[in-house]
Amino acid sequence: MAPLIRLAAPLMLIAAPAFAEAPRVVTDIAPVQALVARVMAGAGAPEVLAIVPAGASPHGFSLRPSQAAAIEAAEIVVTIGAGLTPWLDGPLGTLAPEAARLTLTEVAGVTLHEAREAVLLGGDAGHEGHGHAEAEGKHDHDGHDHGPVDPHAWLDPLNAALWVDAIAEALAAADPAQAALYRANAAEARAEIASAEAEVRALLAPVAGRPYAVFHDAYQYFEAHFAIAPVAAIALGDAADPGPQRVAAVRDAVAAAGVRCIFAEPQMNPALIATVAEGSGARTGTIDPLGGASYPETLRAMARDMAACLGD
């Protein structure tokens, strides 16, 4: 993965109130926590492990004692998959060998896209290099080691809609007494995701086709689903800054395409965005693939921020 995604979030355990009867659930990233929390509403709440900070290697990452304790106590662990958090696989096997594991990229029917390595995305985002793929194997190029499958799969709302059902079934298996609640919550969550999807389409429609660039190539699923296409990605991942040749190539692409906006991410290196934008006339904005008070709000916030920067 490109070392990892919540770029620069502090390493911490976000704990929810304890509920006596609900299974103890640990998740890897905030959007997964939000989906699980929605399905568990009225019964309990999951905990989420914060992601490796920007610049840190996921291979050398060590859990804090509080995080290790949460994993050890977990009855269910819900993650995107090892392609996103390779540092988590070993601790899960050691600390929670008996916990039920739900790997969302392995859920039947999920759409997976191949990881991209090109500097220029050429307006073909959503049309090239995606489809159903096997989440196996890894490669490592210029600090980008997500592997052959792009792990940012939560940004396709159809995947999220599949996942809430899978989450409900995992919870029901561990807690049959509240199975009906989990399944009802999942049905409501699907409806909420569908409503957000429609809102996102409406927000993005007025800026469709306007050229933009992103800090790192994390949005392929969102782009493919909503038929938008960036010109370029400054970095493949968030573990290491791109080299000067890549920065120069992106600068050229931004200028040639008349890019309207270059999108950063929270806690990212603003100097790189400024370097690429300098002299191009492009605006700068921020989008957060991990933020939002809920999963539907994450989608809406991304669309609002994109529309605001790309608009007139």
**DSSP line for 187-211:** HHHHHHHHHHHHHHHHHHGGGTT--
- Residue (of 266, 281, 218, 274) closest to 247 by Cα position: 274
User: 3 in the Ramachandran plot: left (φ > 0), alpha (ψ -120 to 50) or beta?
Assistant: beta
Q: So what's the pLDDT on residue 50? A: 65
- How large a percentage of the chain has pLDDT more than 70? 79
| Interstrand relation of 47-49 and 13-14 (parallel, antiparallel or unpaired) | antiparallel
Give the integer Cα–Cα distance in Å for 229 and 220.
9
pLDDT digits (tens, 9 = 90+) for 201-212: 999 999 999 999
Q: So what's the pLDDT on residue 158? A: 98
Chain mean position to CA 73: 25
> CATH topology of 13-116+135-199 equal to that of 205-310?
yes
Q: Domain locations in the chain? A: 13-116+135-199, 205-310
Helix-helix angle 30-40:179-204, to 10 degrees? 130
User: b/e for 107-133, b at 16 or more Cβ within 10 A?
Assistant: beebbbbebbeebbbeeebbebbbeeb
* For range 221-241, the mean pLDDT: 85
State yes or no: pLDDT of 144 exceeds 60.
no
The reported pTM is: 0.83
Q: Which CATH class is domain 205-310?
A: alpha beta
Domain 13-116+135-199 has CATH 3.30.450.40: no
* For range 286-293, the mean pLDDT: 90
* For range 148-156, the mean pLDDT: 94
Give the integer Cα–Cα distance in Å for 167 and 40.
9
